[in-house]
Amino acid sequence: MQTIDHYAVFGYPIGHSKSPRIHRLFAQQTGQDLEYAAVAVPADTFSASVSAFLAGGGKGLNCTIPLKELAWQRAEQLTERARLAKAVNTLALQTDGTLLGDNTDGFGLANDLTRNHQVKISGTRILVLGAGGATRGILSALFGLAPDSVLLINRTVEKADNLAQEFCHLGPIRSGGYADLHNLSGFDLIINATASSLSNELPPLPDHVLRDGGVCYDLAYGNQPTAFVRWGQTHGAAKSVDGLGMLVEQAAEAFRLWRGLSPDTAAVINLLNRERNLHASES
Ligand code: ATR
């Protein structure tokens, strides 16, 4: 019989996940007794692994690449933001025994941008690169901050067009391919939601596309600045940051859903940043 509540992150691969560390820090900080594990779960065993986890007394799960769409299918109820994203990063066992699916990624990005980095979104022109699952997860939260407009650019233009059509009821959104950027300039915020950083690549951006003093935000993060963060640093960005803060903020929202408590995210972000700087100076 388990006495401590169990949580986990499922993904494949999962070895480098920072989620166990973050949730243990939240638990320490808020005095919660819980366990949080990282479990490698391939897509074809996802549903069975969720069932086994719940049968063993598990209370909640985070799901990451490549499982967010499967988690969306597996959830018995969805929050509005998960319904819009068609992707779930947080599953919570409710008191009636049903499984609630939420998507806290967009909330995490919005909080990191506006609270931690003090970026004002209202009235701004935003360029979003990529039209995959990561973009799906953030669009409704971005529109919640009332930007002037969002332009969605993707290598495969059809995917950007389809996504723009799907989300156009939420706010002003247009779509196109990278060639369209050559006639455009002055974006206040560029968000890299492509998978390019994972292979240390850079989407093909023309030099003038960011407003001088604008902001670059990479949803990816790593021990070194990503290629996109470096691009921002050399193309006039006042701030060019990666998604470590978003990672902590989305985790905090999952923790709140499970435990009813909001941890102090700034303390955890500062700690992870200090560790990262130490790691960078040693390597
Ligand atoms: P995720 O769930 O992380 O969004 P995904 O659904 O596979 O992953 O989407 C990856 C996104 O990154 C896509 O928009 C992809 O562009 P295509 O749809 O044209 O494939 C984009 N992407 C991946 N590598 C890229 C690169 N080197 N440059 C630009 N875009 C890239």
In ligand 1, the atom with minimum distance to the C-alpha of 65 is 2
Q: Are 113 and 214 in contact (CB under 8 A)?
A: no
Residue 93 is predicted with a pLDDT of 98
Ligand 1 atom showing the smallest separation from residue 130 Cα: 14
Ligand 1 — pocket residues by CB below 6 A?
130-134, 154-156, 159, 194-196, 201, 203
Q: If you measure from the C-alpha of residue 203 to the centroid of ligand 1, how many angstroms do you get, rounded to a whole number? A: 10
Residue 283, pLDDT > 90, answer no
Mean pLDDT of 132-152: 97
List the residue whose alpha carbon is closest to atom 26 of ligand 1. 196
pLDDT above 70 for 1:
no
Residue type, 275: E
How high is the pLDDT of residue 3? 79
The per-residue pLDDT for range 179-210, each reduced to its tens digit, is 999 999 999 999 999 999 989 999 999 999 99
pLDDT given at position 23: 98
Residue 106, SS3? helix
- Identify the burial level of 282 via C-beta atoms within 10 angstroms of its C-beta, where 0-12 means exposed, 13-18 middle and 19 or more buried: exposed
- Supply the pLDDT for residue 112: 98
What mean pLDDT do residues 25-31 have? 98
Q: What is the pLDDT of residues 146-166, one digit of tens each?
A: 999 999 999 999 999 999 999
What is the structure's pLDDT at 281? 78
**Is 68 among the catalytic positions?**
yes
How many Cα atoms occupy the beta-carbon half-sphere of 210 within 13 Å? Answer: 26
Query: In the predicted model, is pLDDT for residue 118 greater than 70?
Result: yes
Backbone angles phi, psi at 58, to 5 degrees: -60, 145
Q: pLDDT of 35-70, one tens digit each?
A: 999 999 999 999 999 999 999 999 999 999 999 999
What pLDDT, on the 0 to 100 scale, is given for residue 282? 78
Q: What is the pLDDT of residue 280?
A: 81
Average pLDDT over residues 86-98: 97
- Please give the distance of CA 66 from its chain centroid, rounded to a whole number: 13
Q: How far is CA 79 from the centre of its chain?
A: 16
Q: Which residue in the list 68, 86, 159, 239 is annotated as catalytic?
A: 68
Q: Report, as an integer, the average pLDDT of 98-102.
A: 98
The residues, ordered by sequence, that sit 6+ positions from 146 with a Cβ below 8 Å of its Cβ are 121, 122, 123, 171
Amino acid at 273: N
Percentage above 90 pLDDT, the chain:
95
CA of 66 to the centre of ligand 1 (A): 13
For helices 133-144 and 157-167, what crossing angle results, to 10°? 40
Is residue 33 within 8 A of residue 7, CB to CB? The reply is no
Tell me the mean pLDDT in the region 134-147: 98
8 Å CB contact between 12 and 67: yes
Ligand 1 atom 29: residue of nearest CA: 203
Determine the distance separating the centroid of ligand 1 and the alpha carbon of 258, expressed in angstroms.
31
Q: Whose CA is nearest to atom 7 of ligand 1?
A: 132
